Amino acid sequence: MQRLILAAFFCKGEGCRVCSHTGWLEVLGCGVVDSNVFKAVGYKDVSGYAFGLGVERFAMLLHQIPDLRSLFEGDLRLLEQFK
C-alpha cells in the first residue's frame, strides 16, 4: 500500500493525539486491489489500483479541527462556522 502523508499540522511533527503520536497524517491512501476482491464480484484476470482522498483530513488541517470525528457528528454549530 502506498499513501501520501503530510507532517502533522497540529504538532509540527512532534507527535500528538491527532497523528497517533507519529508526527504524520495520512491524506491519500492507495494500493493494489487484492485479486480476491475481483474474484468475489465475478471478474477474472484483471488487476486494479485503488485510492481515496481524505478530504475531511484536508478540512481538518485547513480549519485546525482537532478531532476528525466532529465532522461526522452532524453538529450544526460546527458546520455553520464554514458558511
Give me the residues that bind Zn ion (CB under 5 A), please: 8, 11, 16, 18-19
Shortest distance in whole angstroms from residue 56 CB to Zn ion: 16
Contact status, residue 59 vs residue 65, Cβ threshold 8 Å? yes
What is the maximal distance between C-alpha atoms in the chain? 50
**Which residue, 14 or 34, has its beta carbon nearer to Zn ion?**
14
Identity of the residue, 5 or 38, whose beta carbon is nearer to Zn ion in the bound complex = 5
> Pairing between strand 2-7 and 49-53?
unpaired
- Other beta carbons within 10 angstroms of residue 55's beta carbon come to 10
Nearest approach, Cβ of residue 62 and Zn ion (Å): 16
CB nearer to Zn ion: pick between 24 and 38: 24
